[in-house]
């Protein structure tokens, strides 16, 4: 199944989302969540709402208790400004009682590896890590990187803050 997932990821990252879907349909076995999730992730990048809705429904049938794919679908809607759909998906998450686990990050500074949870300001080196991340962010922007802030949507009114 990992090989199928890799093939879908290769197609999808290259922008060949329809070919990735055809590949999935031609599989001799039922695709697992990782295979479908690879394609769903690419739908966000390429703003393929039609395919994202179809794939997400298949994922929700297979694994309705996983909040990560609901969040991904919400972010796909947010990326194209479909705020009513964002709200609807977030309501689904709440109605189902799903909770997304906070992301865990690792950063190496010199010879020391720092591990912390997303939004955890109690970490002892939080201030120092924030300073380093600000510097890295500035350097990336100087090189032309434009962050996708829409994916950071945490509240229902995020579009008012971004637009």
Q: Per-residue pLDDT tens for 18-68?
A: 999 999 999 999 999 999 999 999 999 899 999 999 999 999 999 999 999
Cα–Cα distance, 41 to 20 (Å, whole number): 12
pLDDT in tens, 111-155: 988 888 877 778 788 888 888 888 988 999 999 988 776 655 544
Cβ-based neighbours of 48, under 8 Å, separated by 6 or more: 17, 42
Cα–Cα distance, 85 to 77 (Å, whole number): 6
User: Dihedral (C-alpha) 79, 70, 31, 65: value to the nearest 10 degrees?
Assistant: 170
- For residue 15, pLDDT over 60 is answered with yes
pLDDT in tens, 154-163: 444 444 434 4
Q: What percent of the chain has pLDDT over 70?
A: 90
């Amino acid at each position: 199944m990992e090989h199928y997932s890799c093939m879908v990821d290769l197609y999808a990252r290259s922008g060949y989302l329809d070919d990735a879907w055809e590949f999935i349909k031609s599989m001799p076995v039922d695709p697992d969540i990782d295979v479908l999730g690879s394609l769903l992730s690419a739908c966000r990048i390429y703003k393929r709402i039609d395919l994202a809705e179809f794939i997400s429904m298949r994922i929700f049938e297979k694994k309705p208790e996983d909040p990560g794919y609901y969040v991904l679908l919400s972010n796909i809607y947010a990326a194209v400004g479909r705020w009513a759909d964002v709200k609807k998906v977030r309501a689904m998450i709440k109605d189902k009682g799903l909770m997304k686990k906070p992301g865990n990050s690792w950063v190496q500074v010199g010879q020391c590896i720092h591990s912390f949870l997303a939004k955890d300001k109690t970490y002892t080196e939080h201030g120092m890590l924030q300073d380093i991340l600000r510097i890295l962010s500035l350097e990336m922007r100087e090189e032309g990187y434009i962050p996708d802030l829409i994916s950071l949507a945490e509240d229902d009114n995020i579009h008012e803050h971004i637009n």
